[in-house]
Amino acid sequence: MSSQYIGTKFQTVFKDKNIIKNKNISILTKWCNKFAELGLSPKLIGGFGGNLSYRTAKGFIITASRVNLKNLSENDFVEIIEADILSKKVVVKGTNLPSSESLLHYYVYSQRPEINAVFHGHDENVLQKCNQLKLPITEREQPYGSVELIEEVGKILQNYFYLVLKNHGFLSLGETMDKAGNLALQIHRSTDTLTVTNGCILHSTPLTHSEASASETK
């Protein structure tokens, strides 16, 4: 895919332009630094790849557009409080434009209520070895930040915690930021050994109430 970054492809409406304060930003920053350190957020023409977010009471907090995840300042976090994929619009709080993949993150949160962290990175090793590792992968390559990319993800999203965006990167999902981050790391490392524990990428459906009580009595 082209590695040129030309900015966000949606309209951003600022509800206010104050710096975002949230106690969990320090955890997000930790993972952003880790992604940068491992080369999962490489420099592209016009910006950097990779964008990380976590769910909040009002929506989610995501890294800003174009930023280097290695050198984040307090201006580089944006809270998305409303979004609409069809009209390509987001309503935000913060001082900077949100990541170009904000609508993709929004879509994942809307479809997977148990997910509280969405980490997107670019992992060359994973792209090269995803077939050998039997990782789930979108069927078609689509441009970054596009509705078409969201639609591709939608076809396989329900089943997995980790999925590969064809010729582009990956999404690592988790109930917590540490789970999403550690999964991305585990799969990154597995490209050396070519071993992946399937259980970690599969989405296990929670037991229904009756199943849970039946298993408790065993």
Which residues contact Zn ion by CB under 5 A? 49, 169
Residue 101 C-beta: closest distance to Zn ion, Å: 6
CA pair distance 169, 104, nearest whole angstrom: 13
Closest to Zn ion by CB, 94 or 169: 169
Residue 8 C-beta: closest distance to Zn ion, Å: 13
CA pair distance 90, 81, nearest whole angstrom: 8
Q: How far is CA 196 from CA 20, 31, 138, in A?
A: 37, 21, 18
Residue 41 C-beta: closest distance to Zn ion, Å: 9
User: Which residue's C-beta sits nearest to Zn ion?
Assistant: 169
Closest to Zn ion by CB, 93 or 106: 106
Instruction: Find the DSSP H helices in 70-218.
Output: 102-111, 124-129, 147-156, 177-193, 209-216
Closest to Zn ion by CB, 47 or 49: 49
Closest to Zn ion by CB, 4 or 205: 4
CA pair distance 213, 218, nearest whole angstrom: 9
Closest to Zn ion by CB, 70 or 81: 70
Residue 46 C-beta: closest distance to Zn ion, Å: 12
Q: Which is nearest to 175 in space by CA: 186, 155, 189, 161?
A: 161
Residue 143 C-beta: closest distance to Zn ion, Å: 10
Q: How far is CA 211 from CA 79, 132, 205, 208, 216, in A?
A: 38, 35, 12, 5, 9
Closest to Zn ion by CB, 93 or 107: 107
Write the CB contacts of 168 (distance below 8 Å, at least 6 apart in sequence): 1, 122, 127, 141, 144, 149
Residue 34 C-beta: closest distance to Zn ion, Å: 17
